[in-house]
Structure 1
């Protein structure tokens, strides 16, 4: 059984004496936890790793127990609980949770071939398009690459037979969103708002890019401190207001993401059978497994791990950990929740990739020393250092 989240207070106090607290907004942790030391630890971590903006939440027993905000939202504007963070690929779980709600309401089947309502022109001549289902898209088994623009000819194509193997794919999520929108005759961004965000009382999140959110959006800056524009990459490409990606670039506050996590952990919005399908491991990750059981302590090794529907799933028998991360040129994001205890963590870094990667293992050590995801980020950081990359 995985233990509930613990915070190594003694380590914080010993290692961080003399640091000053800067950004804690909520301090509702158990009395044995030194919240001021935790706040000071994150302030020091952000400074040491040159992170532009950071937001953190600790969830205990299904409620937000502590949040902290560090760095600047924009020049001269400190980060706060109203700051919107680009959560990169965590966007996918909002897409997935919307599809699950639509499926549970009988508005679309998870195992219906999507071809009746959407076929991408790039694969129209490949008969395998008729095999694609929403379940495959949500479990990353479409056979698609992550993004078509990464392929030699820039076109979408199958890399393996649909439904046969894991292959992380943002294209799969774009595909299922296009299918759902066509099937229901409604823009998918509106479906997210109507069936997911509005019922959860999340009004400020920007699944669809909104210009009225720009003044609260953490400014993404490169390693030299340059700001290239909201939703823009250093190469000059930008997303347009009114557009969205079903796989990337949603903006949300730390507290709203934590509230979403709690609702997801409770299975809010659909019945027990759909929740069980969501949390069942549909496909193993092979050498990309979250927990390296050869290195991990026995109690940290899940009995099964992989992707369910939308989420990475660590199945411990009497507990399930649902998680998802996000990584882009200027973001490193992580969110997870234990479904048994209702304990969880949100860590959002607005920083060049190598800065966030250097900070994430230490951040997890501060808020959840026994986190089964900590080893994943340590391994990732080591690989980035060895390759000289990370940005």
Structure 2
């Protein structure tokens, strides 16, 4: 165990250095037994992370919502296959992200944010009316916002209170809570997560978002160990708050703009939860690689997860400097070009304006993101396109006039 613990420390610490993660918390179980709860690094106050440090698990929260729905269904309080909210959508569709609703039909981050699950339902009325459930997977937080409201209607309780009474407390997760809106409802002893750019991590406030049912659980490494240890008796299922990976293992990842998390149930019977206090960025799409590295370590395999986060930002910094230099030279040494060619200089600016949509379509599976959130996701990318677009526009205007 001592040698294994040393290997875990080396693995996590090495990856933290490469990925510039200020703090990481890890919980590991075998069957229904907790075998390790370990923390690394510090929080944004500078204090060392502990097993009781409050951290968000983002969309890992969906597995808790799914458990609440299943329990109400098992008690006969909710029918998984009965259409809800006057639509053709059933709770089973919502659980599996096969409701026909997507971020394209309801841009849940760009629209005004609700304060309650009831308001989330009202916001989704039009999308629900038009939704045609099918077998196509379309991931959107809206599905789980609606499930939170179903839990309230079936139980007669506030959703977050229901989780506390019927999920957290029975499992002994006494330091775990669920919130409605970030950053408004974060616990007083919660410490900010970090944003990242150009190799530097800076404490930042999570953007304003509605998170009930989808990604609002705030917990600790110690409590996540209890959650994982309970899974053999809870019978987690693919399509109900958990996803099956290519190896058939159940898992779910979670990303905030200021933190990331993930949970994994391995084929060897281990449960792994990882929480990091650094947000999603280009090159840091969650704790997936670290979870896999720990799983390999537990199975006696050699593994070295690598992060290219710094390299990506350095490339973007170089492109920014190159764009700046070339455009300054173009302004100082003007040459005559056909006016039609100057239109091409508007391409970077057009890409910047379309970037939220482009990222959603090409990289995020159609996910919605605002410009403000985009700056959290990759400030170096936004800076490069803004500098390149702005300078190109200046050069184009000068040459057009000449």
TM-score by length of structure 2 reads: 0.63
1:219 positional shift: 1.9
Alpha-carbon distance in 2 for matches of 1:226, 1:379: 19
SS in 2 for 1:203: coil
Cα deviation code 1:115-138 (max 9, x no counterpart):
2xxxxxxxxxxxxx5211111111
Cα deviation code 1:29-63 (max 9, x no counterpart):
3x6x4322321332232233221221112222332
Pick from 106, 126, 146 the counterpart of residue 76 of structure 2. 106
Please tell me whether residue 185 in structure 1 is matched to residue 156 in structure 2.
yes
Pick from 228, 246, 255 the counterpart of residue 213 of structure 2. 246
Going by fraction, where is helix more abundant, 1 or 2? 2
SS in 1 for 2:27: strand
Pick from 6, 31, 34 the counterpart of residue 61 of structure 1. 31
Pick from 71, 76, 87 the counterpart of residue 130 of structure 1. 87
Q: In the alignment, is the contact (CA less than 8 A) between 2:28 and 2:35 conserved in 1?
A: yes
Farther off after superposition, 156-165 or 44-53: 156-165
Q: Which residue of 2 aligns with 1:357?
A: 284
Please tell me whether residue 267 in structure 1 is matched to residue 240 in structure 2.
no
Please tell me whether residue 91 in structure 1 is matched to residue 67 in structure 2.
no
Q: In the alignment, is the contact (CA less than 8 A) between 2:93 and 2:133 conserved in 1?
A: yes
Distance 1:131 1:380, change over 3 A: farther
Give 5+ residue unaligned stretches, structure 2: 113-122, 317-358, 360-376, 379-402
Distance 1:41 1:176, change over 3 A: closer
Q: In the alignment, is the contact (CA less than 8 A) between 1:50 and 1:355 conserved in 2?
A: no
Distance 1:133 1:238, change over 3 A: closer
Please tell me whether residue 313 in structure 1 is matched to residue 244 in structure 2.
yes
Q: Which residue of 1 aligns with 2:20?
A: 50
1:86 positional shift: 0.9
SS in 2 for 1:204: coil
Q: Which residue of 2 aligns with 1:214?
A: 188
Please tell me whether residue 200 in structure 1 is matched to residue 171 in structure 2.
yes
Q: In the alignment, is the contact (CA less than 8 A) between 1:61 and 1:341 conserved in 2?
A: no
Alpha-carbon distance in 2 for matches of 1:153, 1:208: 19
Q: In the alignment, is the contact (CA less than 8 A) between 2:263 and 2:291 conserved in 1?
A: no
Cα deviation code 1:13-39 (max 9, x no counterpart):
xxxxxxxxxxxxxxxx3x6x4322321
Distance 1:343 1:110, change over 3 A: same
SS in 1 for 2:187: helix
Q: In the alignment, is the contact (CA less than 8 A) between 1:220 and 1:351 conserved in 2?
A: yes
Alpha-carbon distance in 1 for matches of 2:107, 2:298: 34
Farther off after superposition, 56-65 or 79-88: 56-65
Cα deviation code 1:193-225 (max 9, x no counterpart):
22211211111112136968332x242122254
Pick from 142, 149, 157 the counterpart of residue 107 of structure 2. 149
Distance 1:188 1:211, change over 3 A: closer
Please tell me whether residue 167 in structure 1 is matched to residue 125 in structure 2.
no
SS in 1 for 2:195: coil
Distance 1:364 1:187, change over 3 A: closer
How many residues align? The count is 296
Alpha-carbon distance in 2 for matches of 1:337, 1:311: 10
Distance 1:364 1:201, change over 3 A: closer
1:89 positional shift: 0.5
Distance 1:357 1:140, change over 3 A: same
Alpha-carbon distance in 2 for matches of 1:326, 1:359: 7
1:260 positional shift: 1.0
Cα deviation code 1:303-332 (max 9, x no counterpart):
xxxx4222103597xxx6221111222222
TM-score by length of structure 1 reads: 0.64
Q: In the alignment, is the contact (CA less than 8 A) between 2:108 and 2:141 conserved in 1?
A: no
SS in 2 for 1:267: helix
